Amino acid sequence: MRAVIVYESMFGNTRRIAEAIADGLSQSAVVRTVRVIDADPNVFEDIDLVVVGGPTHAWSMSRPSTRRGAPLHVSDPKSGLVLEHGAGSGPGVREWLASIDQVRAKAAAFDTRISSPVLFTGRASKSISRQLSRHGLSVVAPPKSFLVDKKSHLLPGELERARAWGAGLATQVGRLGTLSA
């Protein structure tokens, strides 16, 4: 199986989660991890599974206006946050998803968001998942959130959870492939 993970990240949380998911998937798949700003039209070539993730901004996927707001969060050195290289320089997941054609592959969505009831935080993964379906992708797992604290630091155990989710996805897609063969 061949998989690609396309992600957006400003402070590195979603990137680290994407890398951990890739680690889990790689037990039974060949995996590429691509920043959304580097995702070209060939990104889907020979791909069985597309995994897309981004940070939750203003209850959903980021927008140009919310991405412009992100550097304010890192301006205090005590924040412990650092902007990712190229952060905010290109499209986010929202604009990228709007630009892609119909794709025939399996798919799953994830996000990072603050650890509070989803009613208060929103979650980008739900809208990402909806957009993946609209583009013809067959979504094989419910949208998944990985959690940060109120200062945007990943909670302990989230990388392990991401690794396990990636491994589970690979198993599930492998099983679906066998059933449809």
Ligand X SMILES: Cc1cc2nc3c(=O)[nH]c(=O)nc-3n(C[C@H](O)[C@H](O)[C@H](O)COP(=O)(O)O)c2cc1C
- Binding residues for ligand X, rule: CB under 6 A, are 9-14, 55-59, 66, 69-70, 73, 112-114, 121-122, 148, 152
Task: Specify the residue, 104 or 130, whose C-beta has the smaller distance to ligand X.
Answer: 130
- Residues 138-163 as b/e (b if ≥16 CB within 10 A, e otherwise) read ebebebbbbbbeeebebeeebbebbb
The least CB distance from residue 39 to ligand X, in Å, is: 16
The least CB distance from residue 35 to ligand X, in Å, is: 11
The least CB distance from residue 130 to ligand X, in Å, is: 17
| 121, 113 contact by CB (below 8 A) | yes
Q: Which amino acid is at 149?
A: D
Task: Specify the residue, 58 or 164, whose C-beta has the smaller distance to ligand X.
Answer: 58
Q: Can you tell me the distance from the alpha carbon of 148 to that of 156, in angstroms, rounded to the nearest whole number?
A: 9
Task: Specify the residue, 9 or 131, whose C-beta has the smaller distance to ligand X.
Answer: 9
| 132, 166 contact by CB (below 8 A) | no
The least CB distance from residue 172 to ligand X, in Å, is: 25
Task: Specify the residue, 1 or 37, whose C-beta has the smaller distance to ligand X.
Answer: 37
Query: How far is Cα of residue 148 from the mean position of the Cα atoms in its chain?
Result: 14
